[in-house]
Amino acid sequence: MDSDALRLAFVVGLLQGVFEWLPISSEGNVSLYLTVVEGLPAEAAVRYSLFLHAGTAVAAVAYYRGDVADLLRGLPEWRPRGAFEAGRRADTTFLAAATLVSGVVGITAFLALEALVSEVSGGVFVALVGVLLVLTGVVQRVAEGALGNRATPTALDAVLVGGLQGLAILPGVSRSGTTVSALLLRGYEAPVAFRLSFLLSIPAALGAGVLALLDTGFPDIGVAAAVLALATSAVVGYATIDGLLRVVSRVAFWAVCVGLGTLAVVGGLLVLV
Could you read off the pLDDT of 86-106 as tens digits, one per residue? Answer: 666 788 889 999 999 999 999
User: With contact defined as beta carbons under 8 Å apart, do 239 and 104 qualify?
Assistant: no
Look at 24 and 81; give whichever has higher pLDDT: 24
Average pLDDT, the chain: 87
Q: Write the DSSP assignment of 94-142 as a string of letters.
A: HHHHHHHHHHHHHHHHHHHHHHHHTTS-HHHHHHHHHHHHHHHHHHHHH
Residues with Cβ within 8 Å of residue 185, at least 6 apart in sequence: 142, 143, 146
Is residue 218 over pLDDT 60?
A: no
Q: Considering just the CA atoms, what is the radius of gyration of the chain in Å?
A: 18
Give the span between the Cα atoms of 181 and 43, in whole angstroms.
29
Question: What is the model's pLDDT at position 220?
Answer: 67
CB-based contact 28:133 (threshold 8 Å) = yes
Q: What is the pLDDT of residue 170?
A: 92
pLDDT of residue 208: 79
Average pLDDT estimate for 223-248: 90
pLDDT band at 200 (very low <50, low <70, confident <90, very high): very high
> CA–CA separation, 252 vs 6, rounded Å?
34
Mean pLDDT of 150-158: 88
State in Å, rounded, how far the first CA of the chain is from the last one: 39
pLDDT digits (tens, 9 = 90+) for 106-133: 999 988 988 888 787 778 898 999 999 9
Q: Please give the Cα distance from 44 to 114 (Å, whole number).
A: 10
Kindly provide the residue ranges of all beta strands, DSSP E only, lying in the chain, ordered along the sequence.
none
What is the band of 73 on the pLDDT scale with cuts at 50, 70, 90?
confident
Q: What pLDDT is attached to residue 87?
A: 61
Calpha distance 131→166 (Å, rounded): 18
Q: How far apart are CA 179 and CA 147, in angstroms?
A: 16
**Amino acid type, 246:** R
- 19, 41, 37: which is closest to 28 by C-alpha? 19
Q: Out of 135-144, 196-205, 243-252, 261-270, pick the least confident.
A: 243-252
Burial per residue of 62-74, b for 16 or more beta-carbon CB atoms within 10 angstroms, e otherwise:
ebbeebeeebeee
Identify the DSSP state of 150.
Answer: B
Closest by CA position to 57, among listed 205, 163, 192 = 205
